[in-house]
Amino acid sequence: MPPGKRFEPKEPVHLDLPKDDPISVEELSKCDGTDPSRPTFVAIKGIVFDVGKNPAYGPEGKYHVFAGKDPSRALATSSLKAEDCIPKWDDLEEKDIKVLDDWYTFFSNRYSIVGKVEG
């Protein structure tokens, strides 16, 4: 499969134009799906995606542990542990960083980019 076609969703997804707004870690943490007045965000390598359309990230969802965070380390290492949901991936093995990059592609194909984690 050509690289551009990998991890494409089964159904076409409408994505908004990517935004470059700074989002603080504190604001990100509030966007964990528990506050109905806020969106639900997941960041990967500092880039923030709006995942609100997927209940998997909501309060009852299987992947709620990722919501309101940058869980790059957990995604890279296939972990669902809260302590791994941190934006530290530079010390990981190359194969894990490849997995993380694949998740970035997966999210880019499904969720709109709403900003970047500040700092």
- Binding track over 9-38 against ligand HEM, x by CB under 6 A: ------------------------------
Answer yes or no whether residue 80 interacts with ligand HEM by CB under 6 A: yes
Q: Are 33 and 58 in contact (CB under 8 A)?
A: yes
- Binding track over 41-70 against ligand HEM, x by CB under 6 A: -------------x-x------x-------
- Roughly how many angstroms between the first and final C-alpha of the chain, as a whole number? 37
Select the residue interacting with ligand HEM from 28, 31, 44, 75 (CB under 6 A): 75
- For 66, the token pair is 């990722």
Nearer Cβ to ligand HEM (22/53): 53
Sheet order of strands, 47-50 included: 22-23, 112-117, 47-50, 41-44
**Binding stretches for ligand HEM (CB under 6 A):** 54, 56, 63, 74-75, 78-80
